[in-house]
Copies of this chain bind each other. A is one copy, B any other.
Amino acid sequence: MAIGILSSVLARSGTILGSDHSSVVSMNLFVALLCGCIVIGQLLEENRWMNESITALAIGFCTGVVIFLTTGGKSSHLLVFSEDLFFIYLLPPIIFNAGFQVKKKQFFRNFMTIMLFGAVGTLISFGIISLGAIQFFEKMNIGNLNIGDYLAIGAIFSATDSVCTLQVLNQDETPLLYSLVFGEGVVNDATSVVLFNAIQSFDLSHINSTIALQFVGNFLYLFTLSTLLGVLAGLLSAYIIKKLYFGRQSTDREVALMILMAYLSYMLAELFYLSAILTVFFCGIVMSHYTWHNVTENSRVTTKHAFATLSFVAEIFIFLYVGMDALDIEKWRVISDSPGKSVGVSAILLGLILVGRAAFVFPLSFISNLTKKAPCEKVDFKQQFTIWWAGLMRGAVSMALSYNQFTSLGHTQLRGNAMMITSTITVVLFSTVVFGLMTKPLIRILLPSSKHLMRMLSSEPTTPKSFIVPLLGNRNESEADQSNHNVRRPTSLRMLLSTPSTTVHYYWRKFDDTFMRPVFGGRGFTRFVPGSPTEQNVDQWQ
């Protein structure tokens, strides 16, 4: 390239950048790779097997190989995996956008099921993986792992990565399954992180019932406070924007305020040692319910797409990162004397993940089915299998937790720690690529597309009349007939009265219209403009 040759001529003029030149090279390559992922992802969109996560992983891995070969085996990665980068910059936009774009009606109607899978299920999975790890790894003599390490392994490999599956499951085609898998993913992330923190800070030498109770209390505290903080931040943003009335000229101010308030809620949760993931998720929900309706039309379009874009780029970034970090030679060198053992550890972990997830998805679905009477409410085996499959992938959260546990004290040189890091990478790569490649075809076989449902939904009335409960019941019935999903839904007024969660929704609706919306704005209390972040054909929070 001419520019490249001339650059050497101009090299004398130097650059203002304080950082060294190699980091500029890394950033260039990284941004170029991100562009490449987007373009290739677009070209492969119609492909039967691929999705954007696998594309990014593959590109990252190939780049790693190229760097490995050009540097003569010295290094393979552009950037070392950093927890801070992940938890402070990449995760918040993904989770916030998830809350901002989620179909709230489905999420709240399935709230109990989601909690059952996300919290109880993760604990079961954690228990099985921890016990299995103790059982197998102690016999294999893989190094200096203590009880805390084994429990941490349980927490690390209980953290599912649903990003990959969510790219395949369609929110419009299979709304209930999507909300179950997605909701479980969010609660699961929070549970794993809380578990992991608890393991690192509790005294594990004498576990008794008091500590167990404390632990449960701690979890409930965290969940409640994190949710409250997110809701408060969302309401505050709605109130400020409604009161100040920024007007037509201030789209930039409105958008900036929404982004900053959302980020503030995340950082405040970190400050108070809460679960920032839950906080920013609920902040997103509240913002799309109130704040989003108080801003100008341009701000609505901008926020909807800007948040989605940030989330999209962050996801690709993570997969590229993981793919590139996989070849880091340092870690592999330590365990190079026993490659068989390393493969064995990874295989055992994968097996434990499969068993651990099966051990709660099928029994909990069975329990959930027992409480339902109508056959159309039950989760059939195909759906159970999809839920099980959707949570098998392990991703960036597992990576981050693993790095935190096994490298934080600079112990990477220890064989046990190096073994766990490399096994985590192996499990993440294998589950994302192999399970990920099989997801699209699998879902196509298990869940035939239901486009007609979408058409029906979009012709659905969105006027306040549709909020009247009997109508709601009827509509849900017709929806349920076509998609065969598992949540409690009234088939008549009689059944509606016996279904507490829908009744709660009805009273929430009344409360929202009477007290909340007049203060915080929201649809109907600011002028209506078409195009909402939740596709607007599904009523919100009703």
**Which residues on B sit within 8 Å (CB–CB) of A202?**
12
**Which of B229, B271, B404 touches A16 (beta carbons < 8 Å)?**
B404
A244 at the interface (CB under 8 A from B): yes
Interface flag for A173 (CB, 8 Å): no
| Known contacts A229-B3, A302-B302; A271 and B312 CB within 8 A of each other | no
> What DSSP secondary structure best describes chain A's contact surface?
helix
A97's closest neighbor in chain B, by CB? Answer: B252
Count, chain A residues at interface, CB 8 A: 85
How distant is A195 from chain B, measured CB to nearest CB, in Å? 10
Interface centre among A271, A308, A313 (most CB of B within 10 A): A271
| A369 CB, nearest partner CB in chain B, Å | 34
- Determine if A201 and B14 form an interchain contact, defined as CB atoms under 8 angstroms apart: yes
Q: Which of B11, B251, B253 contacts A38 (CB 8 A)?
A: B253
Given A41-B253, A255-B306, A260-B34, are A24 and B301 also a contact pair (CB < 8 Å)? no
The reply to whether A312 and B256 form a contact with Cβ atoms under 8 Å apart is yes
Residues of B with C-beta under 8 A to A43? 244
Which residues does chain B contribute within 8 Å of A84, judged by CB atoms?
Answer: 17-19
Contact A218 B302 (CB under 8 A): no
A209 within 8 A of B: no
Contacts of A263 in B (CB 8 A): 31
Is A200 engaged at the interface, CB distance under 8 Å to the other chain?
Answer: yes
Q: CB of A401 within 8 A of chain B?
A: yes
Contact across chains for A244 and B7 when beta carbons are under 8 A apart: no
B261 and A35 contacting across the interface, CB-CB below 8 Å: yes
Q: Which residues of A contact B (CB under 8 A)?
A: 3-4, 6-7, 9-19, 21, 24-25, 27-28, 31-32, 34-35, 38-39, 41-43, 82-84, 87-88, 193-194, 196-198, 200-202, 218, 221-222, 225, 228-229, 240, 244, 246, 250-253, 255-257, 259-261, 263-264, 267-268, 270-274, 298-299, 301-302, 304-306, 308-309, 312-313, 400-401, 404, 408
CA distance in complex: A176, B247 (Å) = 27
A500→B490 CA distance, assembly (Å): 77
Of all chain B residues, the one with the shortest Cβ separation from A403 is: B18
On chain B, the residues within 8 Å of A401 by CB distance are 16
Check A313 against B31 for contact (C-beta < 8 Å). no
Provide the bound-state CA to CA distance between A246 and B43, in Å. Answer: 9
Q: Which listed residue (B83, B240, B256) contacts A313, Cβ 8 A?
A: B256
Among B9, B24, B32, B270, contact of A270 (Cβ-Cβ < 8 Å): B24
